[in-house]
Each structure stands twice: as structure tokens, then as C-alpha cells.
Amino acid sequence: TFLDADDELEKEMISICINKITEERSDLVLCKFSIINKNGNIEFVSGWKDNLKDVKKTSELIPQMFSYGISETVWGKIYKSDIAKKIKFVKGIWFEDSPYLFEYLFLSDNVCLVKDSLLKIHKRDTSITRRVIEEKRILDYYRVFKIELEIMKKYSNDIEVKNKVAKYYLNSLID
């Protein structure tokens, strides 16, 4: 799993997710997470949309990355190390989580979803994701887009998957 320095796992997060991987023979586990504001209160719970509760194939999650169906972060998930080690993070860009997760979904088969919030994400006003208008943010979005296009070309021969991703990606740019 991955964790940012100012975030924290719930006490049983690892054991719950490892049990799920073992029981369901999954390559990936997604759990919910709580966004904690500067006062220490839960602002909201996120991670994946409830209408995905019956999803079992990682291929079904690929379009969900671009329609806000799942969080495109690497945290809040447990990965199988033999698959995870095949992928490298792109250095020097913001939002490097998205291409990593995108490629992982192509390389894996099965997923299970945990409805419990097992991670606390501490929201900071100074974090990269809160910097709305900044040249690096805009340029790195473009770089991530190009990287994700290359990943899709590399792994997907399915025109339907490509069309869904393109549709959701364009809609996310408009929103």
C-alpha cells in the first residue's frame, strides 16, 4: 500500500485488506477513506462509489477512474507486490498516482471493494491538490494525459474500453 506522510491507516486496515485479497483471490483491494479537516473532523468519506459494490474485475474500474467512480490515488488500496513492482512512478510530476493506478488496472484481473473507511486523509490547505491555478499543475495534467494515452495504447486492444475512457476523460475536463 502507499501512504502520504500526514495520513494514517486505521488500526485494522492492512489485516482486513490482506484477508480480502486471500479470501477473494483479488489482485487489488479498494477501501473507503475519510477526509479529515484541519479541526480533526470528518469532512466526507470517499474512495469508490457505492453503485460499484458488485464489481469484481479491474477492467470495469478503468473507465471509473475518469468518471469519479473510484479515487485515482494510489492510497486507500492494497496491491499485490508482484504486479505493483512491474510499474514505476513517473518522477518529477504531480498526480503521478493516476498513471500508476491506470497501468495497475490493466495488469491485474480481480478487485474487491471494502465499504469501511480504513484510512484518514488529513486535508491541508498547502497541499498540491489545493493549488488550483498554477502553471505546473496545468502542465502536469497534460503530461499525465499523454502518459495515460501511452498506457492505453500499450495494453488495450478493446475499442469499447478506449471509447469509454475517452468519453469520461473529456467529460472530466469539462466538469
Q: What is the pLDDT of residues 119-154, one digit of tens each?
A: 999 887 665 555 566 788 788 888 988 898 888 888
Spatial separation of the C-alpha atoms in residues 140 and 134, rounded to whole Å:
10
Quickly state the pLDDT bin for 4 (edges 50, 70, 90).
confident
Locus of grid cell 462509489? 49
Quickly state the pLDDT bin for 65 (edges 50, 70, 90).
confident
Q: What is the pLDDT of residues 5-49, one digit of tens each?
A: 878 999 999 999 999 999 999 999 999 999 999 899 999 999 999
Contacts of 156 (CB under 8 A, 6+ apart): 62, 106, 162
State the average pLDDT over residues 105-130. Answer: 85
**Which pLDDT does position 171 carry in this prediction?**
65
**Which pLDDT does position 114 carry in this prediction?**
95
What's the grid cell of residue 56? Answer: 469484481
What's the grid cell of residue 140? Answer: 502536469
Report which of residues 54 and 166 the model is more confident about: 54
What's the grid cell of residue 66? Answer: 475518469
Predicted confidence (pLDDT) at residue 74 exceeds the cutoff of 90: yes
Q: Name the pTM for this structure.
A: 0.85
Report which of residues 87 and 68 the model is more confident about: 87
Which residues are registered as beta bridge partners of 112? 29
**Which pLDDT does position 172 carry in this prediction?**
61
Predicted confidence (pLDDT) at residue 80 exceeds the cutoff of 70: yes
